[in-house]
Chains A and B, each alone.
Chain A
Amino acid sequence: MSIGVTSRSGLTRHRSTGGAPGGRLDFGRRVLVLRRWRIAVRLEWRSVIVCAVLAVAVACMAVLALMTGSYQLSPGQVVPALVGGETGLVHDIVVEWRAPRVVAALVFGAALGVSGAVFQSMLRNPLADPSIIGFSQGSYTGALIVILLINGTYVQLIGGALLGGMATAIAVYVLAYRRGVQGFRLIIVGIGVSAMLGSLNTWLILRADLEQAIAAAAWGAGSLNGVSWDQVAIGGVCIAVLLLLAAMLSRPMRQMELGDDTAASQGVRVSPARLGMVVVGVALTAIATAASGPIAFISLVAPQIGHRLVRTAGITLAPAAFVGALLCLVADYLAQHVAPTPLPVGIITVMLGGGYLGYLLFTEARRRL
């Protein structure tokens, strides 16, 4: 029951006895409403708390990763070194040697998480993931060609990965097109294209010089070994811009989860928004891939873990970014320090993600067939 009370101004004030205390609308969840200056937002408390906890976890994991190595450090040495309070060996170990790798894991992990979230939301399917539907493979192909043919710089590598990813996205889209693109068909086509690109990549490596081939293969497993500050800086700036674009696209994205017709009738320009989402999603994957090789499955798993933690409707970007960063840090830590011999981080994420993918395919197939 609800009661409308008309005030002198002609506006209706509503009290809703079925609503939450304080006369607020009942969203079924505790919400936080902020209205000040020109800002008016409504956040779910659970999301705010989960994101804060994840941020703290990411910070702790980063400090732990900076402490660990053949030369063990204490948090009391790491934290001052980060803010410039240490000199000499400790400074070199933390800032010059270990920090690029940790920052890379953090930034690229977040990028992969958001990239996966964008595609999963867009195609309304948890299987829609750049590493499954071929976009990562395509980025890798582009980067491989740059390495093997012109022995390019990191910036050229990014360019190659971007072109490769985009070309793959276009190819998959065109192949899956039949009076519009339906999500599940696009995923099946993407898996096929991904397999073809996989063999193309193998062929590229096989016909290369031994030295180049070894480097390409090691990098192809997805490794943060030898990531430099230069790469982290260039990649980081690009990713920061892309994350901002993703945040701006998140509102149309959320609206499009209701269906294209509904979104369009509510004022979303559906086609430009979708194109923007594809470009941002592919670019995020491509930049991470150019620096570290394909780190599989973070883009698949992070959005889903984030979604289950915050329990909001639809896929949200912020939790996917935090979970992606955390997963990538943890996986790289395991690969470096826990595995009997140091491994590429991609091996760990494949092992973690592969099980999840099997589970997903199983449940998805049971739901549809």
Chain B
Amino acid sequence: MNTNTITDLAEARDVPTPAPPPGGSRLRVESATIGYDKRIISEGLSVSIPDESFTVIVGPNACGKSTLLRGLSRLLKPSAGQVVLDGVAIQSYKTKEVARRVGLLPQTSIAPDGITVADLVARGRYPYQGFIRLWTEADERAVVRAMDQTAVTDLSGRLVDELSGGQRQRVWVAMALAQHTSILLLDEPTTFLDITHQIELMELFTDLHHVGHTLVAVLHDLNHAARYATHLIAMKDGAVVAEGPPSEIVTAELVEEVFGLRCLVVPDPVAGTPQVVPLGRDRGGEGVREGR
């Protein structure tokens, strides 16, 4: 990422949808029951995403964090309760209107064979296009800007299949950005990347957060969550156990309650944020409780 990217990022503020009241929440879940078919994952779940926050949801596998994200993005319809976007039940919007307000980077996406980077990013413009209005000046501007923001402009004409994992993930982020939503949901965006690319992507998200995007990410890495999130939501068994700024809520007790992992929480020597250091069997006396 270079300095130009940051100046361009500042431009991103001017477009996305209505200015929110300070301290509000444009996107929230109100006592919702969410699940698949007959399998209920969360019951009576209420979550508010603070506006302009970088919210990270953490929790053990199958705790319902991805399900929550699917509910927030309207991929799953709550069987009871509701998800509210900008004051109105999200189900009452037209699908394209939701897509103009909330973007999603799913866990897995498929790049069609032989697609180039610019072509893929341009697909993010779908919610603004019509039968014969497929590539307006505004579309082109949004795509150019999204590619600048994610530093993939130089890859523009390359085939997506030929890119490295880190590059490819930035291209998917660019596609989501081209959709021009101020709220962006990210489902385990760093999972398949090496550490360098994970950090690079987290810093990109921080940049996006600084220019006014509201980000909601599901992450596995607690230390990344603690360092980059402004608002942390810890989930277990489909319910929220704790939420708030990482510096206030990340404690050894919470980690043990949520993950069943005995650990030490120390200040991150670089950022000063809480850092989770597992004790392990040999050094913590009792070791991992739910390990076996």
Chain B residue, CB-CB nearest to A44: B119
Interface residue count for B (Cβ, 8 Å)?
64
- List the B side residues contacting A28 at CB < 8 Å: 116-119, 156-159
For residue A338, give the distance in angstroms from its CB to the closest CB of chain B. Answer: 35
Question: How many Å lie between the Cα of A255 and that of B139 in the bound state?
Answer: 16
- List the B side residues contacting A257 at CB < 8 Å: 110, 112
Chain A residue, CB-CB nearest to B156: A26
9-residue interface stretch from B57-65, B96-104, B195-203, B215-223: B96-104
Asked if A8 is at the interface of the complex by the 8 Å CB criterion, the answer is no
Question: How many Å lie between the Cα of A6 and that of B4 in the bound state?
Answer: 12
The residue from B104, B136, B156 contacting A35, defined by CB atoms under 8 A apart: B136
Residues 240-255 (chain A) with a chain B CB within 8 angstroms? 248, 251, 254-255
Question: How many Å lie between the Cα of A258 and that of B107 in the bound state?
Answer: 12
Asked if A226 is at the interface of the complex by the 8 Å CB criterion, the answer is no
- The reply to whether B124 and A266 contact each other, CB–CB distance below 8 Å, is yes
- The reply to whether B106 and A261 contact each other, CB–CB distance below 8 Å, is yes
Question: How many Å lie between the Cα of A311 and that of B159 in the bound state?
Answer: 12
Residues 79-133 (chain A) with a chain B CB within 8 angstroms? 124
Asked if B109 is at the interface of the complex by the 8 Å CB criterion, the answer is yes
Interface of A is mostly: loop
Residues 142-164 (chain B) with a chain A CB within 8 angstroms? 143-145, 147-148, 153-154, 156-159
- List the B side residues contacting A265 at CB < 8 Å: 73, 75, 99, 102-104, 106, 185
With contact pairs A312-B114, A313-B116 given, residues A2 and B4 touching in the complex (Cβ less than 8 Å): yes
- List the B side residues contacting A3 at CB < 8 Å: 4
- The reply to whether B126 and A2 contact each other, CB–CB distance below 8 Å, is no
- The reply to whether A259 and B132 contact each other, CB–CB distance below 8 Å, is no
- List the B side residues contacting A311 at CB < 8 Å: 114
Give the total number of A-B pairs whose CB atoms are below 8 A apart: 155
Question: How many Å lie between the Cα of A20 and that of B140 in the bound state?
Answer: 13
- The reply to whether B157 and A258 contact each other, CB–CB distance below 8 Å, is no
Q: Could you give, for residues 13-33 of chain A, a 1 whenever the CB lies within 8 Å of some chain B CB and a 0 otherwise?
A: 010101110000111110001
Asked if A368 is at the interface of the complex by the 8 Å CB criterion, the answer is no
- Which of A38, A179, A267 is packed against the most chain B CB atoms within 10 Å? A267
- List the A side residues contacting B147 at CB < 8 Å: 2, 25
Question: How many Å lie between the Cα of A38 and that of B147 in the bound state?
Answer: 26
Question: How many Å lie between the Cα of A257 and that of B160 in the bound state?
Answer: 14
- List the A side residues contacting B158 at CB < 8 Å: 28
Chain A residue, CB-CB nearest to B153: A2
Asked if A275 is at the interface of the complex by the 8 Å CB criterion, the answer is no
- List the A side residues contacting B136 at CB < 8 Å: 35, 40
9-residue interface stretch from B7-15, B22-30, B229-237, B279-287: B7-15
- The reply to whether A14 and B134 contact each other, CB–CB distance below 8 Å, is no
The residue from A29, A42, A266 contacting B127, defined by CB atoms under 8 A apart: A266
Asked if A41 is at the interface of the complex by the 8 Å CB criterion, the answer is yes
- List the A side residues contacting B98 at CB < 8 Å: 267
> Assuming A25-B143, A29-B157, A255-B126, what are 15 further A-B pairs, CB within 8 angstroms?
A1-B154, A2-B4, A4-B148, A12-B145, A14-B141, A16-B153, A27-B119, A40-B136, A251-B126, A257-B110, A262-B106, A264-B73, A265-B103, A267-B95, A268-B95
Instruction: Please list the 10 inter-chain residue pairs (A to B) with the smallest Cβ-Cβ separation, ordered nearest first.
Output: A28-B157, A267-B99, A313-B115, A265-B104, A267-B96, A28-B116, A42-B135, A261-B106, A314-B112, A267-B127
19 contacts between A and B (CB under 8 A): A4-B4, A4-B8, A10-B14, A12-B141, A14-B141, A14-B144, A19-B156, A27-B157, A28-B116, A28-B119, A35-B135, A40-B132, A258-B110, A259-B106, A259-B110, A262-B104, A267-B126, A268-B95, A269-B95
